[in-house]
Each structure stands twice: as C-alpha cells, then as structure tokens.
Amino acid sequence: MFIQVDKEIYEKLSEVERSVIHFLNQNEEKIPYMSITNIADKTFTSQSTVSRAIQKCGFQGISQLRYEILQQDQFKNRHESGYEMNNILSKSYRECTKTIDSISPISMLDTIQLIKEAKNIFIYARGFTALIAEEFQMYLQLLGYNAIIVKDVKWMENTKYIVKENDLVFIISVRNSTPELSSSARIAKQIGAKVITCCCKNPNGLEQYSDIVIPGHSEQIMKASGLTVYSRIPLLIITRTIIEYLGND
C-alpha cells in the first residue's frame, strides 16, 4: 500500500475520495502510466475528485504521486522508461510551481502599469528566447500597444538611437548570456526609459539597471551541438500572465 492513510486523514476523505485512494493503492504499478483523466474514468469520479483525494493524502498532485511511486527501488529497475518520463514531467511541474511562487503580484501590477504608460515597448531577446518575445509582441500588438522586437545584436548596439525617455525596455532572457543585453539595459536606464527584466537566472547582472525584475525558475533540457539548452516554460508563464491581465483589464 503506497498511500498510507492515518485516521485523521481518513476522516477527512469523503466516501468517493476513499474509493479513489483504494483504487490507487490497488493499482500502484499502473499509476505512473495513467493520467488523471484515466483514473477518474476508472473510478467513475471526476478529475477534481481525484485531484482533491490525492492532495488530502499529502501530495501536491498526480505528477508528484507518479514520481514518488517511481522513486521506489523496485520501480526504478523494472520501469526505467516510465521513471525517466515522470522525472521529465516533474521538472516541468517544478518550473511552473517555482516560477509562480517567485512572482510578486505587486511587481506584475507595476509592470502592467509601465506597459500602459509607455509610448513604445521594446522587447529585447536573443536566440531561442526571441521566439517567446515574438509571441509576446504579437499579443501586445493585438491589444493595441506599439511593441517592437529587438533581437539583432547590431540593433542592441544602437539602443541609444532607438529608445527614448518615455519608452519601455522589456528584456526577456533565460540566463542573460548575451553581453549586449546588459549594455542595452544600462544605456536605456541612462536615457531615462523604464527597464523590466524577465530572467531565470538569479543574480543575472541586469538587476542594477532594472526598475522591475520578474524571476523565473528554468531547468536544463539537453546538451546538443555544444549548447546547453534551458527550458523557456517560465518565460511563457510570465508573459502569458501579463497578456491575459491586460486583455481582461
């Protein structure tokens, strides 16, 4: 029996939730390969009931439950592929939860205000992160903001000719590995423009030039062609939050 339920927890469970926990314990080997929808179908309950039952037993959700099951030695050896898959899913889960936990609602609201007040919004990004910046730009433009992408190093070197005092520089970066981002932030600050940094490395060297820093938690995806690639999921969470708030305001 993987999920140990003491008297105190048992009394907090409804009859339906108890049946879910019974199913999970009876099908421990299958759980790592089942989605919350599968479990709900098998127990004739809803996804919310399954999720609530799991959380009442001390797990944050189905991802943690699957991961904890596969952590057991007997599963590591017999189900290596499933273990690795759930380990990857757990990384994504950690990125989402740690990013959300680290975001200050006040900082986000201040960011929203600066976006509304800016004449132009210059979104600085390099490499793969420019894809996130382009999506952010598209949504801002749909909402009526004058958003401009700056992803070329030559453009960054000419920040002093591009950015004006009443503009906003929004820097999106995973690790701040491009020196031109820091120099652009410094120049923009000297001009008098507002600077917002969204980065997944802390400290990142941009704090001293930024009016607002929005942190994220990113984990390594792979190493390929001499490059270490980090996840952009946290950047999507942050930019999506901003866009949705603006769209509903």
Query: What pLDDT, in 10s, does the model give residues 30-56?
Result: 888 888 999 999 999 999 999 999 998
| 20 lies in the same domain as 65 | yes
| 48 lies in the same domain as 85 | yes
Q: Is residue 128 part of a domain?
A: yes
pLDDT of residue 1: 55
pLDDT of residue 160: 96
pLDDT of residue 78: 53
| 113 lies in the same domain as 232 | yes
Range of the domain at 67: 7-101
Q: Is residue 70 part of a domain?
A: yes
Query: Is 70 exceeded by the pLDDT of residue 91?
Result: yes
Res. 83 pLDDT band, cuts 50 70 90: low
Instruction: Give the rounded percent of residues in the chain with a pLDDT score beyond 70.
Output: 95
Res. 141 pLDDT band, cuts 50 70 90: very high
Q: Is residue 230 part of a domain?
A: yes
Question: Among 45, 68, 101, where does a domain finish?
Answer: 101
| 108 lies in the same domain as 192 | yes
| 21 lies in the same domain as 117 | no
Q: Is residue 1 part of a domain?
A: no
Q: Is residue 170 part of a domain?
A: yes
pLDDT digits (tens, 9 = 90+) for 176-200: 888 899 999 999 999 999 999 999 9
Tell me the CATH number at 55: 1.10.10.10
Question: Among 101, 135, 155, where does a domain finish?
Answer: 101
- The mean predicted confidence, pLDDT, of the chain is 89
Give pTM, 2 decimals.
0.70
Give phi and psi for 54, each to the nearest 5: -65, -40
- Reported as half-sphere exposure (CB side, CA atoms, 13 A), residue 241 has a value of 20
| 47 lies in the same domain as 135 | no
Number of domains forming the structure of the chain: 2
pLDDT of residue 223: 85
Which structure tokens are listed for 201?
A: 């490395």
